[in-house]
Amino acid sequence: MSSTFFTASPQWRWFIVAYFFLGGLAGGSYFLATLLDRFGTERDRPLVRLGYLVAFPIVCLCGLVLTVDLGRSERFWHMLVQSETFRPMLKTYSPMSSGAWVILLFSGCAFVSFAGAVAARGWPRWALLRHASPEAPFGRLVSGLGAILGLYLAGYTGVLLSVTNRPIWADTTLLGLTFLISAASTSAALLILLGSWSGLSRDHLHPLERFDRSALILEALTIVALVASLGRIATVWLDGWGVLLAGMLLGGIALPLLLEWRQPDTNRPVWVAPTLVLLGGLVLRMVIVLSTDRL
């Protein structure tokens, strides 16, 4: 029996599941918006703005759920500042410590890009906000940095789980990769969904749909590799959690891929596949976080 089965559960539950999901969406949306900004066309501009508009509110929500989950919420700042000396508190080898700083820095970048995206709509007409635009040198610098931090935010949560001694989490080193790829697929799905709701045509959404298909294939391969890397320990999922994971693979990855590939240009509602992908991303985190609670 693996030594990880002799440990106690930190009882990270729904708030943490929500944080892992939302953190992936915030970081992933920002990353995709920046990529579309740098490598896309003028037609992609609405999607770029959308990515920056959603990333900031979502990362604010992340901070909120994380703070609420603490046993002593009023001490959330102890993650960043030493409570006795008021010096910065950072342990580069502790994913939770570095993650707290990344959330803070990413929030700053997300706020600047959010302000730039709001200003691009024509209001408010503050001169300062012009610098926040991704087209301005300062905004460009911030969005480049934010994209890297966004990827970190999307993936470090899995690394954080692996850097424990809990069963499943510490028995593989692929959780960070899995969460990162899943964050990319769910973020693309979110932008497709919001883009279609805001009236963007299929042609506008096409690059994201293509990206999402590739991300979903990569995600399926990563999950298979994750289960394989667990070896015999994966047998703990021979229960309801395993059924849920299999359901996620079928409903959250295979079915959306099938829907996209079989009839990509019909009048089928755009929201079906991205909604399934988003639900799949949530279920994936549920299974990984909650299934170890009783082990």
Residues 2-41, interacting with another protein (CB under 8 A): 3-12, 31-32, 35-36, 39-41
Residue 44 interacting with another protein (CB under 8 A): yes
Angle between helices 240-247 and 272-290 (to 10 degrees): 150
Residue 261 interacting with another protein (CB under 8 A): no
Residue 235 interacting with another protein (CB under 8 A): no
Contact between 158 and 14 (Cβ < 8 Å) = no
Separation CA 99–CA 157 (nearest Å)? 8
Contact between 263 and 202 (Cβ < 8 Å) = no
> With helix as H, strand as E and coil as C, how does 63-108 read?
HHHHHHHCCCHHHHHHHCECCCCCCECCCCCCHHHHHHHHHHHHHH
Options 57, 173, 201, 263; binder of another protein; rule CB under 8 A: 173
Separation CA 156–CA 96 (nearest Å)? 8
Residue 201 interacting with another protein (CB under 8 A): no
Q: Whole-number minimum distance, CB 231 to another protein, in Å?
A: 15
The CA–CA distances, whole Å, from 54 to 22, 57, 145, 226 equal 11, 6, 17, 30
Site for another protein in 210-229 (CB under 8 A): 210-211, 214-215, 218, 222
Residue 263 interacting with another protein (CB under 8 A): no
Q: How many residues bind another protein (CB under 8 A)?
A: 72
Q: Whole-number minimum distance, CB 180 to another protein, in Å?
A: 5
Q: Whole-number minimum distance, CB 181 to another protein, in Å?
A: 6
Residue 62 interacting with another protein (CB under 8 A): no
Residue 166 interacting with another protein (CB under 8 A): yes
Cis peptide before 134 (omega within 30 of 0): no
Separation CA 117–CA 197 (nearest Å)? 18
Residue 55 interacting with another protein (CB under 8 A): no
Q: Whole-number minimum distance, CB 174 to another protein, in Å?
A: 6
Q: Whole-number minimum distance, CB 203 to another protein, in Å?
A: 8
Residue 268 interacting with another protein (CB under 8 A): no
Options 75, 201, 250, 258; binder of another protein; rule CB under 8 A: 75
Identify which range of 109-117, 178-186, 259-267, 277-285 contacts another protein by CB under 8 A: 178-186
Contact between 151 and 24 (Cβ < 8 Å) = no
The CA–CA distances, whole Å, from 21 to 18, 24, 83, 123, 280 equal 5, 5, 30, 31, 10
- 47 vs 53, beta carbon nearer another protein: 47
